[in-house]
């Protein structure tokens, strides 16, 4: 007797098993977060956009949403001066030390409060600890005070003092003999400090999506800034126009990042998960929504699991106090593949055609270095 099997039942069987397999893989992954109460002393003063209570509020919100049960908590220590000097000049480190005693200004937008050397060193220590845990059985680690990408070797601004991204790369390069590092920086501001440090270094693939520098600090990160003579194609910038919304942003991500990351084959990934791209952020003009951060983080952890199984997540910029807490929570939901993320009404995308052309132009700029077109 010939039996007829409904194809929909077969599809349903495979989909159910795929979902179970995905759940098993997520559970098998190990996730952690670093935190120290002194993180909250990284406070640039009354009336300044960077207020010191955000790390504490972030941790409290994660506990309120019952997501901390999914994360192992670790306490960081300060980096050593040796760690700082792998990246920053002695003159610059000494300047931060001096200002940490006297107070003052490291740049026009960045006051240096008393004690900042200690607090900035602690934040960088949290990123190093996060990376170290990836060599001790963890697949993904989160630092809620991190991503200080405006700090260059001998100068800084943009509320940053020490570039914890570069400090961590150089630490693990030396300690674990790694050769390939991928930085995906999705903060609304261009990662000018990280770019300055690695512009001529093809061991570090630095990808920055940010608001167009013609409309926002720091004014850098043009489409044609693709690396120095020895590292063409290893710096990738997508300067997005004000008004960019979720669909265009996610389309750009999918068109550029997965393919190049897979070709590069990094041994570790660092994700600067700034959320000042949210439509309510007072310092910028992109129009992303809460759910965008879930989808971005979910795609990035998927890339990491497929390529290297080592992901450091840095909860970067965000200057609307309430919005950044929800956005950070959604980032972590995305990392954990938890669909209890918070949603809101989507914003209108005014620049879809312009951004498509921008993506195509970037692909042409990179075509000699990556199989991207």
Q: Which residues contact 14 (CB under 8 A, 6 or more apart)?
A: none
CA separation for the pair 212, 239 (Å, rounded): 4
pLDDT of 46: 85
DSSP 347: P
Q: Where are the beta strands (DSSP E) in the chain?
A: 31-34, 72-74, 104-107, 110-112, 140-143, 181-185, 204-211, 235-240, 268-272, 311-314
Backbone region of residue 315 per phi and psi (left: phi > 0; alpha: psi in -120 to 50; beta: other values): beta
pLDDT tens for each residue of 229-282: 999 999 999 999 999 999 999 999 999 999 999 999 999 999 999 999 999 999
pTM above 0.75, yes or no: yes
CA separation for the pair 339, 318 (Å, rounded): 22
Domain extents in the chain: 46-366
Lowest-confidence range among 6-10, 147-151, 232-236, 313-317? Answer: 6-10
pLDDT of 364: 97
Residues taking part in catalysis: 150
User: Domain 46-366 is of which CATH architecture?
Assistant: 3-Layer(aba) Sandwich (3.40)
Q: Are strands 110-112 and 31-34 parallel, antiparallel or unpaired?
A: unpaired
pLDDT tens for each residue of 91-138: 999 999 999 999 999 999 999 999 999 999 999 999 999 999 999 999
Question: How large is the average pLDDT for residues 321-340?
Answer: 97
pLDDT tens for each residue of 12-41: 444 454 444 444 454 567 999 999 999 999
């Amino acid at each position: 007797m010939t039996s007829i099997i409904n194809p929909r039942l077969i599809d349903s069987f495979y989909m159910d098993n795929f979902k179970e397999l995905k759940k098993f893989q997520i559970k098998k992954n190990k996730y952690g977060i670093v935190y120290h109460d002194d993180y909250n002393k990284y406070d640039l003063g009354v009336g300044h956009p960077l207020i010191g209570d955000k790390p504490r509020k972030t941790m409290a919100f994660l506990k309120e949403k019952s997501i901390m049960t999914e994360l192992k908590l670790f306490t960081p220590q300060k980096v050593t001066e040796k760690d700082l000097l792998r990246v920053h000049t002695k003159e610059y480190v000494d300047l931060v030390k001096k200002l940490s005693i006297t107070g003052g200004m490291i740049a026009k937008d960045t006051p240096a409060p008393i004690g900042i050397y200690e607090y900035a060193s602690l934040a960088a220590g949290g990123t190093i600890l996060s990376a170290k845990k990836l060599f001790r059985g963890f697949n993904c680690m989160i630092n809620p005070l991190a991503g200080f990408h405006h700090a260059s070797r001998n100068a800084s601004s943009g509320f940053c003092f020490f570039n914890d991204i570069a400090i961590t790369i150089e630490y693990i390069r030396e300690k674990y003999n790694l050769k390939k590092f991928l930085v995906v920086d999705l903060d609304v501001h261009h990662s000018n400090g990280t770019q300055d440090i690695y512009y001529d270094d093809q061991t570090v693939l630095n990808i920055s999506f940010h608001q167009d520098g013609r409309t926002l600090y720091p004014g850098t990160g043009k489409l044609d800034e693709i690396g120095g003579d020895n590292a063409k194609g290893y710096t990738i910038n997508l300067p997005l126009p004000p008004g960019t919304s979720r669909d265009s942003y996610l389309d750009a991500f999918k068109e550029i990042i997965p393919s190049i990351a897979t070709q590069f084959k990094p041994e570790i990934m660092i994700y600067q998960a700034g959320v000042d791209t949210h439509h309510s952020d007072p310092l910028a003009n992109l129009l992303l929504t809460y759910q965008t951060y879930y989808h971005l983080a979910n795609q990035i952890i998927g890339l990491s699991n497929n390529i290297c199984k080592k992901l450091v997540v840095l909860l970067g910029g965000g200057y609307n106090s309430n919005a950044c807490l929800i956005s950070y929570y959604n980032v972590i939901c995305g990392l954990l593949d938890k669909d209890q993320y918070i949603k809101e009404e989507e914003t209108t995308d005014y620049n879809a055609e312009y951004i498509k052309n921008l993506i195509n132009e970037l692909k042409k700029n990179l075509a000699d270095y990556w199989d991207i077109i």
